[in-house]
Amino acid sequence: MIALDKHPSGRHFLQIPGPSPVPDRILRAISLPTIDHRGPEFADLGNKVLAGIRKIFQTRHPVVIYPASGTGAWEAALVNVCSPGDRVLMYETGHFASLWHKMAQRLGLQPELLALPGIDEATGLPNSWRHGVQAELIEQRLRDDRGQQIKAVCVVHNETSTGVTSDIAAVRRAIDAAGHPALLLVDTISGLASADFRHDEWGIDVSISGSQKGLMLPPGISFNALSPKAIEAGNTAKLPKAFWAWDEIVEMNKTGYWPYTPNTNLLYGLSEAIEMLLEQGMPVVFARHQRWARGVRAAVQAWGLPIQCADDKVFSPVLTGVVTPRGVDADAVRRLIHDRFDLSLGAGLGKLRGRMFRIGHLGDCNNLTLMAALSGVEMGLKLSGVAIAGRGVQAAMDFFAATPSE
């Protein structure tokens, strides 16, 4: 076994914003015997998950499932719709948007990165990493693109590095208002199945997601949800693609099979996760995450620490970024909390390294697991000598006690 003996009893508190804690029901489903992926039983499983996942993306169109992490699905989206040297308009909301931009450069595209300018004086952090996508900046840039050279607009729905969401319907309206034909590509790797997401209604061409966040599965599968316009673009795009190519996969998926070996046991888990989510109803699932987020924010506000997201209209329901005072190393606080209380928190990434930590509120959580996590954070802040204004744990208890579950 790997060294888990530091904390010999009880469960580890995995409070990072994905991979999220996996419900026992899903773990049991994954432990079923592996079956022949070309055999007669497999098609039932394949057809079931391919139909079910469309309901989660809220789409009538094909969803491609890859045995890969989210990064693979990012690449799949770009290589299926772009040709070498294509211009793509990306928007810097945080670390993941920046990584996707870097990938576009490596693929030989000409990505342009829009961002809200300036530094926030109170925290010294970039404004762009504290706010969501400003759709009017996208509209203006597309209006200026008179030759309509920009092939795609790429945005992140739930920026996992900051805890900020973006209004995807507003981005669609901006593209339409500019009268621009660019495709809309959306990373909802950490948004799907936790935050409201509507592939068809919001006019998205490719939605990208992964298994290890709101779907409550271990890491290992990822998705591209397609629009008819994206499928058409895929037929003429010239970037090299083989494993990621949608056409063969979509064709074989019609019979419930894949052209390669799919991730059979994770598909059992996916089937179970879809059942669990649809049994509860997606509005209930979204409300649950909003409520958890409000409880966690009540604690952070009582501690008197800034929340990474500076715009209360776009607080993430999936995670909350907590900014530590200048001079306090957020990573040292995180390490202490891990070592003393067996609780993992998300690190500050990229430009936020050492300046903040992230509390995930997704996956197999409930009021009391979140209360335990907040207790660990509050104890850790005090032990690290961080001056906190008040009792965040008490504020969260008051919130959860006063606000019944949906």
Query: What is the binding site for ligand PLP (CB under 6 A)?
Result: 18, 69-71, 96, 156, 160, 187, 189-190, 210, 219
CB 364 within 8 A of CB 216: yes
**Closest among 81, 90, 89, 100 to 239, alpha carbons compared:** 81
Q: What minimum distance in Å lies between the beta carbon of 124 and ligand PLP? A: 24
Q: Which is nearer to ligand PLP, 180 or 358 (CB)?
A: 358
Q: What minimum distance in Å lies between the beta carbon of 44 and ligand PLP? A: 28
Q: Which is nearer to ligand PLP, 18 or 46 (CB)?
A: 18
Q: Which is nearer to ligand PLP, 155 or 393 (CB)?
A: 155
One DSSP character per residue, 53-98 reads HHHHHT-SS-EEEESS-HHHHHHHHHHHH--TT-EEEEE-SSHHHH
Q: What minimum distance in Å lies between the beta carbon of 382 and ligand PLP? A: 29
d(CA 204, CA 182): 11
State whether residue 14 is helix, strand or coil: strand
Q: Which is nearer to ligand PLP, 186 or 305 (CB)?
A: 186
* End-to-end Cα, the chain, rounded Å: 39
Q: What minimum distance in Å lies between the beta carbon of 356 and ligand PLP? A: 15
Q: What minimum distance in Å lies between the beta carbon of 76 and ligand PLP? A: 12
The two three-digit tokens of residue 380, written as one number? 């850790």
- Provide the greatest CA pair distance for the chain: 63
Q: What minimum distance in Å lies between the beta carbon of 383 and ligand PLP? A: 28
> Using CB atoms, what's the residue nearest to ligand PLP?
70
Q: Which is nearer to ligand PLP, 21 or 392 (CB)?
A: 21
One DSSP character per residue, 321-340 reads EEEPPTT--HHHHHHHHHHH
Q: Which is nearer to ligand PLP, 90 or 178 (CB)?
A: 90
d(CA 217, CA 27): 8
